[in-house]
């Protein structure tokens, strides 16, 4: 296991100081051009050297006829060229002294025949020059903290805590907008493609010691180095969680993966067993993959599996209770001490059973400002699941009926909702117990957005919220089990950050 990022062969791929770019031109339709545009839009502040056989300038940058003409040997070469010429260009990069590369080009092993021969040639050239490379047939890397993006789409949102390794290239780029909608982002995301040189295990090792990565997401079509994969994961999950989406378990998924990256997939039961042995949490969809990464990276681990549900509507509370039961989570009764504390806030129609159904509160704002903290103080609470319904238009109307002038009610509503979200976020931080929200309203509403920006996960589905809590319990148990095995000599110990 790596001791530091600098020891990883991916270090200068993820944090290059200078880049040679092959395949960009002044034609916006050429595949390399959008990648150069993405790189510039991200604000990469190192030197970028477009290499083009005919152009003197590419997208405002001085271009060079050959990599051999560059004023230095850059840290990284990015190749977006026809497959047939990639081996020759990689060989010239090696002659220049470049030691790291990303081969974006497709047309290699995934096509079989001549493509497989070309990929073998790439491996031999890289070995001769001591080059480490991602790909071929990949999209490269995104490292928002380094202002690096070698993908076709521009990065959206802010740097985040999710590290990713994906055997599908464009999958990484398609998640930019999706994650930004939840206020999330990548720490570093790798696309490994055909894994001719560097593979998903190398990426796991890097992300395992990356200080900005709190949780690792894997998109898997097939694993080559099974033993190394399991041992690396075991070493990582004692410190940070790993969530994997495996898509090669069915016959149709297996065939798609083979034609996509040439991956050799295995049956679902085999991968289920491998993930269990490695301490990896398996996601069943893209949505679930990032739901689980969200809570595992944002929330403290629970001490147990006891959930208190807070609601002011019977239906959402009952649905949540049902999902909790199906997930093996427990709904404890509140202690008499907690019941006494929340009694002043309760109308006669409320229920102090779990779910704690307030129906309404004597003061509407108590639901967010006072009650969550009291429920988190409860000794039987390991996690709090709270139903969120606070329509801005309803609050604004209430304020107007209380005499607030219409031209001031909007601003006052925003201030009030912001204050409520701050109260919930403070309760989460103060009590250091997982708190998850769920709602049937849009997650783009101001109140929900404010909560998410303050680190409170809110899901537009009861089932997704409960699955997230289940994953927190699952990882807590995994970490305890793997740590115990390590202490008793069943797993090799490894260092890390």
Q: How does pLDDT run across 160-219, given as a tens digit for each residue? A: 999 999 998 678 999 999 999 999 999 999 999 999 999 999 999 999 999 999 999 999
CB 384 within 8 A of CB 434: yes
Q: Is 166 helix (H, G, I), strand (E, B) or coil?
A: strand
271: Cα separation from own chain's centroid: 21
Average pLDDT in the 86-90 region?
Answer: 97
d(CA 371, CA 341): 9
Q: How does pLDDT run across 215-263, given as a tens digit for each residue? A: 999 999 999 999 999 999 999 999 999 999 999 755 554 444 444 444 4
Average pLDDT in the 411-423 region?
Answer: 85
Buried residues in 466-477 as b, exposed as e (16+ CB within 10 A): bbbbbbbbbbbe
Q: What is the largest CA-CA distance in the chain?
A: 82
Nearest of 139, 10, 21, 146 to residue 78 by alpha carbon: 21
State the DSSP string of 443-459. Answer: TTSHHHHHHHHTT--EE
Average pLDDT in the 376-385 region?
Answer: 97
d(CA 198, CA 328): 39
For residue 497, what pLDDT band results from cuts at 50, 70 and 90? very low
Nearest 5°: CA angle at 493, between 491 and 497?
135
d(CA 398, CA 403): 9
Average pLDDT in the 444-451 region?
Answer: 92
Q: Which residues, listed in sequence order, are joined to residue 101 by a DSSP beta bridge?
A: 77, 133
Nearest of 172, 125, 178 to residue 153 by alpha carbon: 172
Indicate the length of the chain as a whole number: 497
For residue 482, what pLDDT is reported? 65
Q: Residue 345 — φ and ψ, nearest 5°?
A: -95, -5
* Range in 72-76, 140-144, 442-446 the model is least confident about: 442-446
* Average pLDDT taken over every residue of the chain: 90
Alpha helices (H) in 378-437, listed in sequence order = 392-401, 406-431
For residue 265, what pLDDT is reported? 61
pLDDT > 90 in the chain, percent: 75
Q: How does pLDDT run across 332-363, given as a tens digit for each residue? A: 999 999 999 998 888 877 888 899 998 766 56
For residue 124, what pLDDT is reported? 98
For residue 496, what pLDDT is reported? 32
Instruction: Give the pTM.
Output: 0.91
Cβ contacts of residue 378 below 8 Å, gap of 6+?
308, 334, 335, 338
Is a pLDDT exceeding 90 seen at residue 483? no
For residue 493, what pLDDT is reported? 32
| Cα atoms found within 13 Å of the Cα of residue 248, Cβ hemisphere only | 23
For residue 386, what pLDDT is reported? 97
Please give the DSSP secondary-structure letter assigned to residue 351.
Answer: B
Is a pLDDT exceeding 50 seen at residue 400? yes
For residue 362, what pLDDT is reported? 59
């Amino acid at each position: 296991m790596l001791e530091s990022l600098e020891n990883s062969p991916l270090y200068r791929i993820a944090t290059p100081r200078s880049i040679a770019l092959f395949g960009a031109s002044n034609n916006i339709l050429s595949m390399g051009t959008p990648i150069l545009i993405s790189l510039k839009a991200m604000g990469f502040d190192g030197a970028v050297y477009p290499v083009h056989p005919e152009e003197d300038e590419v997208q405002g940058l001085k271009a060079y006829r050959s990599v051999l003409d560059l004023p230095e040997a850059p840290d990284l070469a990015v190749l977006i060229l026809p497959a047939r010429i990639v081996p020759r260009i990689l060989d010239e990069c090696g002659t220049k002294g470049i030691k790291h590369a990303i081969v974006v080009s497709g047309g290699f092993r995934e096509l079989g025949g001549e493509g497989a021969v070309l990929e073998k040639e790439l491996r031999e050239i890289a070995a001769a020059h001591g080059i480490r490379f991602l790909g071929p047939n990949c999209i490269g890397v995104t490292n928002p903290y380094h202002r690096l993006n070698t993908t076709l789409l521009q990065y959206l949102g802010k740097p985040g805590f999710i590290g990713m390794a994906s055997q599908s290239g464009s999958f990484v780029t398609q998640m930019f907008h999706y994650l930004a909608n939840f206020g999330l982002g990548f720490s570093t995301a790798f696309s490994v493609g055909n894994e001719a040189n560097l593979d998903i295990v190398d990426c796991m090792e890097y992300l395992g010691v990356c200080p900005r990565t709190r949780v690792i997401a894997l998109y898997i079509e097939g694993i080559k180095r099974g033993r190394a994969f399991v041992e690396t994961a075991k070493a990582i999950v004692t410190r940070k969680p790993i969530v994997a989406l495996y898509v090669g378990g069915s016959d149709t998924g297996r065939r798609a993966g083979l034609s996509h990256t040439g991956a050799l997939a295995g049956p679902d039961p085999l991968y289920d067993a491998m993930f269990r042995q490695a301490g990896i949490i398996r996601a069943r969809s893209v949505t679930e993959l990032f739901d689980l990464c969200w809570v595992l990276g944002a929330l403290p681990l629970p001490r147990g599996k006891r959930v208190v549900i807070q609601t002011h509507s019977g239906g959402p509370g009952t649905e949540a209770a049902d999902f909790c039961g199906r997930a093996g989570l427990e709904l404890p009764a509140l202690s008499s001490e907690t019941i006494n504390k929340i009694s002043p806030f309760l109308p006669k129609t409320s229920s102090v059973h779990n779910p704690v159904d307030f129906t309404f509160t004597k003061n509407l704002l108590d639901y967010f400002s006072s009650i969550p903290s009291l429920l988190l103080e409860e000794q039987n609470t390991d996690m709090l699941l709270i139903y969120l319904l606070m329509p801005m238009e309803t609050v604004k109307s209430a304020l107007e009926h209380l005499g607030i002038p219409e031209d001031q009610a909007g601003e006052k509503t925003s201030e009030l909702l912001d204050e409520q979200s701050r109260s919930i976020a403070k309760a989460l931080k103060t009590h250091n117990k997982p708190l998850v929200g769920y709602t049937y309203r849009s997650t783009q509403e101001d109140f929900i957005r404010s909560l998410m920006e303050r680190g409170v996960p809110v899901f537009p589905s009861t089932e997704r919220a409960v699955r997230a809590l289940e994953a927190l319990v699952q990882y807590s148990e995994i970490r305890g089990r793997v740590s115990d095995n390590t202490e008793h000599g069943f797993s090799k110990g490894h260092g890390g950050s």
